[in-house]
Amino acid sequence: MVPSENPLLDNLRIEPTPGATTLVIFGASGDLTRRKLLPALYSLSRGQRLPARFAVVGVARTATSDEQFRQQFHDSLQEFAKVDARSDEVVRSLQAQMYFVAGELDDPGLYARLAARLKEIGSEGVLYYLAIPPGVYGTVAEGLEKAGLAGTPEDGWRRLIVEKPFGTDLASAQSLNAQLHRHFTEDQIFRIDHYLGKETVQNLLVLRFANGMFEPIWNRRYIDHVQITAAETVGVERRASYYEGAGALRDMVQNHLMQLLSLVAMEPPTEFTASSVRDRKMDALLAVQPVVGGDEPPAVVRAQYREGWVAGAEVPAYRTEPGVAPDSKTETFVALRLKLDSWRWAGVPFYLRSGKRLPKRTTEIAIQFHRPPLQIFKRVSPTPLASDLLVINVQPDEGISLRFNAKIPGTRMQVAPVMMNFGYGTSFQGEVPEAYETLPLDAMLGDPTLFARHDFVEASWALITPINELWQKESGVPPTYQAGDWGPPEADALIAKDGRRWRTL
């Protein structure tokens, strides 16, 4: 961020830098590394956020020299960096500290070679980034420990970042946690949920707990319901081999939307520390009632996109996308209602929806307040007035808007809703860092606040797994929606049953 006009804002930017660190990327020739991690390292370095002594060791199966890895870094920046990074001093200085170790993940020789490299580099801290499928997390954790690379009190710190998907159901998530915990302690493990790295998501904590005016009204007395939407215009892209076994519920709701829900629903932490924040988020998640198995039919709808039009282009049906089974039942849209059993939220439904090939890319949290108890403007405004609404725009127009009613200027008393808007782009200068910049840096600093804890991940799977199991048992085809529509009519019916509507976005 460049200095702003406002000295108060500059004072807030006391940014710690980690001590000497080596980042070891497992899966160094994969997509995530090329698209996200390497460009993020470049941005961090440009912003002088990386340690003065910093090295990168790429690990992958294919034999690759240090020089070739440095070239791959260069190429990835050409394709994916936010700025033109061709002849940059920053690129050259990072390249000079990049190394490669090749080998099979189950070969002890790989870890011995890695150990030798790390010794040569001699950093105080080592961050292992597992940009590899979850099926081999255990193998790598074990390999590292056996080679003495998981950390001893004499070493500096050793930490592990793991990517999503963290399991496919409760049992597999528990097993992954157990495998990791065999070789690393929980405080060494950083589970990525990239939504937590988004500025707007972090700002939820600030909005709620750095202001005095929201918290008193943040409860059942004032709030009617909450809607959380994560809508995408893209389809399955080239990810069918993963997505076919996942679907919208597991891909988006189990992780990202549950994180958003917990940040909205949590009690105030007593201090801004990882344990206090994560404990309160956990309490909120534990208050969510099971969707399946209660007295009522499960309030959840799934659907799959048919062919249609999105952003002026004709797009194919999910079932005809490359790699998708022609009789696939995988859902590309999900909508559900959650109830929280807590003093704060009893009787306040949380409606969640997420889907691909929807009309607009937008992620938002809408807090819908109750109408005033008395409609004194009934005579001048015969249709019910809009209720107050606070919208947190997570993306793409990052900001917050408040809708309330105002008098229309004129000699008559007429009322209409108006908006008060805060936009990041207008209130703050400089670039907003991406999640893949914020999160690895936090891991280097040893701050797990924005990472998913083992119990959170498991509690979330405990809610999601029975829904999936129910769907697996269902014969028949899931409902469909035309690409470019806001999901199937069943999703509208789900919320209409409660006398409410989805927000039109």
Binding positions for ligand BG6, rule: CB under 6 A? 164, 194, 232, 251, 363
Which lies closer to ligand BG6 via its Cβ, residue 251 or residue 485? Answer: 251
Which lies closer to ligand BG6 via its Cβ, residue 21 or residue 363? Answer: 363
Which lies closer to ligand BG6 via its Cβ, residue 194 or residue 337? Answer: 194
CA distance 189 to 278: 14
CA distance 91 to 106: 32
* H-run or E-run covering 55: strand 54-60
**Minimum distance from CB of 164 to ligand BG6 (Å)?**
6
Let me know: does 141 contact 106? Beta carbons within 8 Å.
no
Torsion sign across C-alpha atoms 213, 216, 219, 223: negative
**Minimum distance from CB of 232 to ligand BG6 (Å)?**
5
Let me know: does 309 contact 225? Beta carbons within 8 Å.
no
**Minimum distance from CB of 343 to ligand BG6 (Å)?**
32
**β-strand partners of 155:** none
Identify the residue whose tokens are 């495998």: 179
Retrieve residue 210's tokens.
């750095």
**Minimum distance from CB of 251 to ligand BG6 (Å)?**
5
**Minimum distance from CB of 483 to ligand BG6 (Å)?**
15
N-term to C-term CA, the chain: 31
Which lies closer to ligand BG6 via its Cβ, residue 147 or residue 392? Answer: 392
Which lies closer to ligand BG6 via its Cβ, residue 53 or residue 360? Answer: 360
**Minimum distance from CB of 50 to ligand BG6 (Å)?**
23
**Minimal CB distance residue for ligand BG6:** 251
Which lies closer to ligand BG6 via its Cβ, residue 34 or residue 158? Answer: 34
Buried b (16+ CB within 10 A) or exposed e, 366-381: bbbbeeeeeeebeeeb
Instruction: Return the CA Rg of the chain.
Output: 24
Retrieve residue 44's tokens.
């961090």
Supply the DSSP string of 142-198, one letter for each residue: HHHHHTT-S--TTS--EEEEEPSP--SSHHHHHHHHHHHHHHS-GGGEEE--GGGGS
**Minimum distance from CB of 81 to ligand BG6 (Å)?**
18
Region for 156 from its dihedrals, namely left if φ exceeds 0, alpha if ψ lies in -120 to 50, beta otherwise: beta
Judge whether 256 counts as a catalytic residue. yes
Region for 189 from its dihedrals, namely left if φ exceeds 0, alpha if ψ lies in -120 to 50, beta otherwise: beta
Which lies closer to ligand BG6 via its Cβ, residue 31 or residue 215? Answer: 31
Identify the residue whose tokens are 């099979």: 104
* Nearest of 145, 78, 52, 68 to residue 100 by alpha carbon: 68
CA distance 414 to 108: 76
**Minimum distance from CB of 150 to ligand BG6 (Å)?**
28
Set 183, 194, 225, 256: catalytic member: 256
Which lies closer to ligand BG6 via its Cβ, residue 194 or residue 319? Answer: 194
- Measured in degrees and rounded to the nearest 5, phi and psi for residue 371 equal -70, 160
CA distance 334 to 365: 16
CA distance 5 to 250: 44
CA distance 390 to 225: 11
Q: Which residues are catalytic?
A: 256
